[in-house]
Amino acid sequence: MLAAEREAELRAELDALADSRVALVIRQFEWAVNDVERLRQAVRRAEAAKLAADKHATELELRNRQFRSMVEQAQGQLAAYRAEPLRVPTAAPAIDAPHTLEMRWSIHDDGTMRWLRLETDDTRASRVRLLDPHGLLLTISGPAAPASPRSDGPLGFILEMSVPADVLADLESETLRHRFEALVGDEWRALTLRDSGVRTGTSRDKRSRVYVAEGIRSIA
């Protein structure tokens, strides 16, 4: 009886020991399988990283080749540019307007005073001034005004100014010592005068009315 019970106990212990060994083997196998799967995933990640690194290296090599090609092209263009002779563009010669202006002069007398009348076709001249031999200002004309229409030329401009008697005498004798200048924009330019040959005067009729002779009314 005791022997049978002891045998049953031993068998039960052996079965429990065998089960525990089987369970341990199964757990070890599962651990090994998990380790193998982790290694496979690590290998896959490593391969993907290698592919990405290879692709990046290929792109860098391509960019490096393109950059070297651009540098070589730029160096070639620079060498060709340096080899070319320097060409300085020639500017068209500037055509300056004549610095000296010319006007026609005439003397007008209304019986009480004489004044100088200047005529020009140059629309740029706005005023005329008179300087003494030392360059001091003596007088200045009024603003230029349109002249009456003429049959022998375009519509001119008239400037009138009173000047000393000695200046009028010098003009008539062509021994002018004074200087006339015309205002063009903001610049005073030298002015040469040409005798128009016109001398106007006034007369009085029997009723003491003042009139200008028709034969000398127009400006030359």
* CA dist., res. 25 & res. 18, Å (int): 11
Say what the pLDDT of residue 180 is: 92
Instruction: Give the total residue count for the chain.
Output: 220
List pLDDT tens digits, range 116-141.
888 888 888 889 999 988 888 988 98
Q: How confident is the model at residue 28 (pLDDT cuts 50, 70, 90)?
A: confident
List pLDDT tens digits, range 153-207.
555 778 788 888 888 888 888 888 888 999 998 899 998 888 887 777 544 444 4
* CA dist., res. 54 & res. 48, Å (int): 10
pTM: 0.46
Q: How many CB atoms lie within 10 A of CB 23?
A: 10
Say what the pLDDT of residue 149 is: 60
List pLDDT tens digits, range 38-86.
888 888 888 889 888 988 898 988 888 898 899 988 888 888 877 777 6
Closest CA to 174 of 198, 192, 200: 192
Span 99-127, mean pLDDT? Answer: 83
Q: How many CB atoms lie within 10 A of CB 97?
A: 9
Query: Quick check: helix, strand or coil at residue 188?
Result: strand
Say what the pLDDT of residue 210 is: 38
Reported for 33-38, long-range contacts at CB under 8 A and 24+ positions apart, including other chains, are none
Residues 6+ apart with CB under 8 A from 182: 101, 103, 120, 122, 125, 127, 128, 188, 189, 191
Residue 75 host element (H or E): helix 2-83
**Between 167 and 91, where is the model more confident?**
167
Span 74-100, mean pLDDT? Answer: 70
Closest CA to 167 of 217, 203, 124, 128: 128
